Amino acid sequence: DSGVTQTPKHLITATGQRVTLRCSPRSGDLSVYWYQQSLDQGLQFLIQYYNGEERAKGNILERFSAQQFPDLHSELNLSSLELGDSALYFCASSVAGGFNEKLFFGSGTQLSVL
Amino acid sequence: GESVGLHLPTLSVQEGDNSIINCAYSNSASDYFIWYKQESGKGPQFIIDIRSNMDKRQGQRVTVLLNKTVKHLSLQIAATQPGDSAVYFCAEDPRGGADGLTFGKGTHLIIQP
């Protein structure tokens, strides 16, 4: 168990809908990362937050947004969902979100858009 | 394209043998590398990491080798066990932590009894 908690484990929804994925980092970790994993693209970095502030952005679509709350949990919001958004979404956390830190991953949320 | 890649998508080894999983990276500025293991239905699990000022690092039954000359990373697993069956990813930190880790596509390690 990595200590990173993600909910829900599975999410089935329809195209055009909006969903929210939730992540609680390991105790003491200030930084949260979101990754998308699909068969054809592998693990793709979406966005990183550190202590409530956005720190880095990767291949995140404009339809997606995230935030990190004062208690350090994070939410990833996916809107106007398309079939191609079906994937595993992982949250990871690290102590300080700085250089050369190992990330600890949650078990992921499997999103199916029908 | 991907700056980190793996030579083989699938590797099959006999139980008890040593496994070697390879990874090539293209960004010579990368100074930190990690190996993750992902079992079915789970998130990536940290195995071992190495910084660019080292060329070898050992853990419990695992060794990571870094060859900066040819930009090559490998993971060696000694005495492979059934529990080692998983997808293994190498990842690099190409921008000093600014944009998260860049992951390769992964190698599926299959253990033959």
Q: What is the pLDDT of residues A23-75, one digit of tens each?
A: 999 999 999 999 999 877 788 999 999 999 999 898 899 999 999 999 999 99
Kindly determine whether residue B93 and residue A100, on different chains, have CB atoms separated by under 8 Å. Answer: yes
Per-residue confidence (pLDDT) for residue B95, from 0 to 100? 67
Q: At B92, give phi and psi (nearest 5°).
A: -125, 160
Per-residue confidence (pLDDT) for residue B1, from 0 to 100? 32
Q: What is d(CA B103, CA A14) in angstroms, rounded to the nearest whole number?
A: 29
Residues 10-69 of B with CB under 8 A from A: 31-32, 34, 36, 41-46, 49, 51
Which residues on B lie below 8 Å from A33 (Cβ)?
100
**Is some CB atom of chain B closer than 8 A to the CB atom of A105?**
yes
Of the residues A23, A54, A102, the best mutation for testing chain B's interface (the one with the most B CB atoms within 10 Å of its CB) is A102
Per-residue confidence (pLDDT) for residue A39, from 0 to 100? 77
Q: Residue B43: which of A2, A101, A102 has the nearest Cβ?
A: A2
Which residues on A lie below 8 Å from B93 (Cβ)?
99-100
What is the Cβ-side half-sphere exposure of residue B98, based on CA atoms within 13 angstroms? 5
Report residue A95 CA to chain centroid gap.
17
Percent of chain A with pLDDT over 90: 82
**Is some CB atom of chain B closer than 8 A to the CB atom of A108?**
yes
Mean pLDDT of chain A: 93
Q: Strand pairing partners for B10? A: B108
**Is some CB atom of chain A closer than 8 A to the CB atom of B2?**
yes
Ranges of chain B with pLDDT below 70? 1-8, 95-99
Per-residue confidence (pLDDT) for residue B4, from 0 to 100? 57
Kindly determine whether residue B98 and residue A56, on different chains, have CB atoms separated by under 8 Å. Answer: yes
Per-residue confidence (pLDDT) for residue B5, from 0 to 100? 52
Strands A109-113 and A10-13 turn out to be parallel
Percent of chain B with pLDDT over 90: 68
A102 pLDDT above the threshold of 90: no
Per-residue confidence (pLDDT) for residue A76, from 0 to 100? 98
Per-residue confidence (pLDDT) for residue B2, from 0 to 100? 38
What's the N-to-C CA distance of chain B in angstroms? 36
Instruction: State the amino acid at position A51 in one-letter form.
Output: N
